[in-house]
Structure 1
Amino acid sequence: MKKFMVFVTITTLALFIAACGTTEDDTNTNSPADNNAGETENNAANEQDNAANDQNNANTENGSTTDNNDATNDRDNVTTEMDADYPFTSFDLEADFEGTEDIVEVEYEQDTNETEASYRNETQGIQLRGDEAMQELDSIFSTFDFDENTPKEEVLSTVLEAFNIPNDAQNVELDIEYSGGTEVEYQQ
């Protein structure tokens, strides 16, 4: 009986201590080692991004606009606020000519929270992403006054002229999603 009473007392005290040992400040159950592991991972990712940015800055200073790190598409994201009011939310253009595919490639996509843009034109030595691409594309897109009801030939002609694509281009594919949600494919 005495052993039973000691057992009950120890069990009751253990439960009481366990219940009292938890406070409102103990909301984070990770150990300090777990928290530091997350910081280490974030620091490593930031160092990789910084190294890639340093490389891109060095390339830009040398006159090269080529992005050597295609491992991430984060560079396509536009971070500056442009006062863009285009008739479309997505614009994807690919043009082949002179026996080479994708001499001109333009990608623009505007979502609720972000805009992605890239512009490559090998005949003019243009290879831009993100904000730089958007600045260049804005000067072109802002001249467009077509919409989903404009005849396809007129849209293609306007786009070919705006991007200096020769009329003898072998394959031109243009996909546009207009602001109203209508998607139209154009081909030449």
Structure 2
Amino acid sequence: MNKKQLMIYSSALTFVLALSGCGNKEEVKNPPKDAPKENNSNQANRDSPYNFTSFDLDVTYKDNKTFDVDYENEKDGMEAKLTDGVKDENLSGDDAMERLKPIFSDLKITSESKDGEVTKQIIDKFNLKEDFTAFDLEVQFEDGSEKEYKIKP
């Protein structure tokens, strides 16, 4: 192996090692103790403050401004991210969870809730302006069911 090949391999190895050392900024280090975790069973955790394990909200406004919430609580950890392009706010990890926890706790949605009831609650609880151009919410409930809610004005 010549010096050039050795230099390329060592640079690639250094790059891979550097990337693997980077932490996940969306990881919540202090999750609520009673938040449901995603599991493969259809058994619900009745003691949890909210009954979903995944929540992905994407709202688009004019001028490509967006409001995005990404939340996942799986067995290997919790991740949360909130991006508010209207207010120019980006939160992740524990900061995002602090903001989301009272909103999630106040939501009264289930897999049986009517679509209109769910979208109204989301708009109200997140104080979203209703002049959006697209609204897309995907929720995985702790019973394993998944629902998608869309509004295209």
TM-score under structure 1 length normalisation: 0.60
Q: Find the aligned partners of 2:134 and 2:23 in 1 and give their Cα distance.
A: 26
1:55-66 equivalent positions in 2, closer than 5 A? none
Deviations along 1:107-166, one digit per CA (max 9) or x if unpaired, are 000101200110011222320011111111102111011101010011001001112212
Aligned residues: 124
Match of 2:112 among 136, 145, 149: 149
Over 3 Å counting, the alpha-carbon distance change for 1:148 and 1:131 in structure 2 is same
Aligned equivalent of 1:87: 51
Aligned equivalent of 1:118: 81
Q: Find the aligned partners of 1:139 and 1:132 in 2 and give their Cα distance.
A: 13
Aligned equivalent of 1:96: 60
> Per the alignment, in what secondary structure is the counterpart of residue 102 of structure 2?
helix
Over 3 Å counting, the alpha-carbon distance change for 1:168 and 1:73 in structure 2 is farther
Match of 2:143 among 180, 183, 187: 180
Q: Which runs of 5 or more residues in structure 1 are unaligned? A: 1-40, 50-71
Maintained 8 Å contact 2:26/2:92: yes
Is 1:77 matched up with 2:27? Answer: yes
Q: Which has the higher contact order (CA 8 A, sep 6+)?
A: 2
> Per the alignment, in what secondary structure is the counterpart of residue 107 of structure 2?
coil
**Aligned residue type for 1:87:** N
Following superposition, the deviation at residue 81 of structure 1 comes to 3.2
TM-score under structure 2 length normalisation: 0.73
Over 3 Å counting, the alpha-carbon distance change for 1:81 and 1:96 in structure 2 is closer
**Aligned residue type for 2:32:** M
Over 3 Å counting, the alpha-carbon distance change for 1:80 and 1:171 in structure 2 is same
Q: Which runs of 5 or more residues in structure 2 are unaligned? A: 1-13, 36-47
Between structure 1 and structure 2, the one with the greater Rg is 1
**Aligned residue type for 1:177:** Q
Percentage identity across aligned positions?
28
Runs of 4+, deviation exceeding 3 Å: none
Give the strand-richer structure, 1 or 2.
Answer: 2
Following superposition, the deviation at residue 106 of structure 1 comes to 0.4
